[in-house]
Copies of this chain bind each other. A is one copy, B any other.
Amino acid sequence: MYDRIKGFRDVYPDEMAARRRTIDTIEETARQYGFREIETPALERAAMWTDKSGDDIVDELYSFEDQGGRHVTLTPELTPTVARMVVAKQQELSKPIKWFSTRPFWRYEQVQQGRQREFYQTNVDIFGSSEPEADAEILAWAADAMTGLGLDAADFDFRISHRDILGGVLETYDADIDTEAAIRAVDKSDKIPRAEYHDLLVGAGLTAEQAEEFDDLIAAGDLEAVEEFASTERVTDAVENLRNVLEAAEDFGVREYCTISLETARGLDYYTGIVFECFDSAGEVSRSIFGGGRYDDLIEQFGGQPTPAVGVAPGHATLSLLLQRADVWPEEAVQTDYYVLQVGDTRSEAARITRALRDRGHVVETDIAGRSFGAQLEYADSINAETTVIVGEQDLANDEVTIKEMESGDQVQAPVEEFPGDLKRPTAADFS
């Protein structure tokens, strides 16, 4: 009768079980790094995005006027919100500020595999440190989250660069270059034919010869060659910073996941330093899994004290494509420790056992629908119950219950007053 909206998903329990395990791993890793959870509004003033018009995001906003006449938008990303929150409590917060959160965002864009209009990200940010250790900690967290999910160095690759390398190289040309257009061209370079890429560079103000030279220099990714080509302070500082971040990443045990890739530019305008994107090393997931980088100017642009910042935001949709490709996506199935099956009028005893098992932390279901023995057993199967405790009138008359292991089919009687007794996770084996 009602259909769901295009680009919005209903996640049923089996799939959700896999998603939950993934999110738990990502968040647990963030907590271990000392990132602190925050909770943020779904709606913000649309001006937070429209004021910086020209940004691609604006066309994709779900924005509207609320009943109080405010021009609001469903947030398409978290960064402006956390910047606003840092500005609002800048004096009180001890730095570095390390925050994370997992939540949905919304963009009205073309729906395709791994891209919905409602999509989940875990945002992880550090404010208040300009040191390379902060950038490296973001990389280390992301790498640890990925390996925690079962991926290894052969599965993914952080392609890393520094925003000022491209900008700095471009400004050494004696020509009137639209730097942002050129960087956007680089950002697209691995998705478009080489000729088209060169045309875009020429459109940004380079000569054909310069475009070729620039492409060769950037594609090689040789930091020494870059320094030789453009020995300005901007470029040498950027190269030094990139080297320092990689050195810290080495100390943090995650250097092996990082590849220098000067083509990595990140489309978003607020990045200022280190930028990186995570790719599928096998190339099967063709687009970037996620990206991040340093955005040292945003807090000041939002009216705060100058505050360096660096962050990353794994999107769960592309991440799950990679996990599936690498064959480490968790099984999409609910799990149940016990089903307590009632035969006849045994509700009271079944309820006692059910509560006792739940008190031990287990996932336990019992009959709440007046079902037959067969229907209950079928249901226990459908929820992947490991152990079924059969509480029957006849068994109870003998002060017994039946413990049945669902996979092996092993089945024994246990004295009812000893079940579950002192056992933490009683099985048929404990009573055979």
A: which residues have CB within 8 A of B?
Answer: 1-6, 8-13, 16-17, 19-20, 31-34, 36-45, 47-48, 62, 64-68, 70, 72, 74, 80-81, 84-85, 87-89, 93-96, 98-99, 104, 106, 108, 118, 126, 128-129, 131, 133-134, 136-137, 144, 248, 251-253, 302-303, 334, 336, 347-348, 351, 355, 358, 361-365, 367-370, 378-379, 382-383
Q: Is the CB of A365 within 8 A of B1?
A: no
Q: Is the CB of B368 within 8 A of A99?
A: no
Q: Is the CB of B38 within 8 A of A12?
A: yes
Shortest beta-carbon distance from A307 to chain B in Å: 12
Query: From A94, which residue of chain B is reached at the shortest CB distance?
Result: B382
Q: Which residues of B contact A367 (CB under 8 A)?
A: 133
Shortest beta-carbon distance from A369 to chain B in Å: 4
Q: Is the CB of A302 within 8 A of B369?
A: no
Contact of A5 among B41, B89, B302, B303 (CB under 8 A): B41
- Assembled-state Cα–Cα distance A361/B2 (Å): 45
Contact of A134 among B31, B84, B368 (CB under 8 A): B368
Q: Is the CB of B251 within 8 A of A33?
A: no
Q: Is the CB of A67 within 8 A of B108?
A: yes
Shortest beta-carbon distance from A180 to chain B in Å: 23
Q: Which residues of B contact A36 (CB under 8 A)?
A: 13, 16-17, 334
Shortest beta-carbon distance from A55 to chain B in Å: 15
- Assembled-state Cα–Cα distance A65/B63 (Å): 9
Q: Is the CB of A47 within 8 A of B2?
A: yes
- Assembled-state Cα–Cα distance A378/B94 (Å): 9
Q: Which residues of B contact A379 (CB under 8 A)?
A: 94-96
Contact of A133 among B17, B40, B362, B370 (CB under 8 A): B370
Q: Is the CB of A253 within 8 A of B10?
A: no
**A5-B45, A37-B20, A95-B369 as given contacts; A32 in contact with B361, CB under 8 Å:** yes
- Assembled-state Cα–Cα distance A137/B221 (Å): 62
Q: Is the CB of B133 within 8 A of A66?
A: no
**A84-B4, A302-B2, A358-B32 as given contacts; A368 in contact with B42, CB under 8 Å:** no
**A12-B85, A43-B5, A369-B134 as given contacts; A355 in contact with B38, CB under 8 Å:** no
Sample of 15 more A-B contacts, CB < 8 Å, known A2-B45, A34-B364, A253-B351 = A1-B87, A8-B41, A8-B43, A10-B85, A13-B36, A17-B37, A32-B362, A33-B358, A33-B365, A34-B336, A36-B334, A42-B42, A43-B74, A248-B347, A252-B355
- Assembled-state Cα–Cα distance A43/B36 (Å): 28
**A66-B108, A347-B133 as given contacts; A37 in contact with B8, CB under 8 Å:** no
Q: Which residues of B contact A98 (CB under 8 A)?
A: 365
By Cβ-Cβ distance, the 3 closest A-B pairs, closest first, are A1-B303, A13-B36, A64-B64
Q: Is the CB of A44 within 8 A of B9?
A: no
A sample of 7 cross-chain residue pairs with beta-carbon separation below 8 angstroms, ordered by A number, consists of: A1-B303, A10-B85, A12-B85, A31-B363, A32-B361, A96-B368, A137-B368
**A5-B72, A94-B382, A365-B34 as given contacts; A131 in contact with B370, CB under 8 Å:** yes
Q: Which residues of B contact A382 (CB under 8 A)?
A: 94
Shortest beta-carbon distance from A181 to chain B in Å: 26
- Assembled-state Cα–Cα distance A160/B70 (Å): 41
**A98-B365, A348-B251 as given contacts; A5 in contact with B70, CB under 8 Å:** yes
Q: Is the CB of B347 within 8 A of A253?
A: no
- Assembled-state Cα–Cα distance A118/B43 (Å): 9
- Assembled-state Cα–Cα distance A5/B65 (Å): 12
Q: Which residues of B contact A68 (CB under 8 A)?
A: 6, 108
Q: Is the CB of B108 within 8 A of A33?
A: no
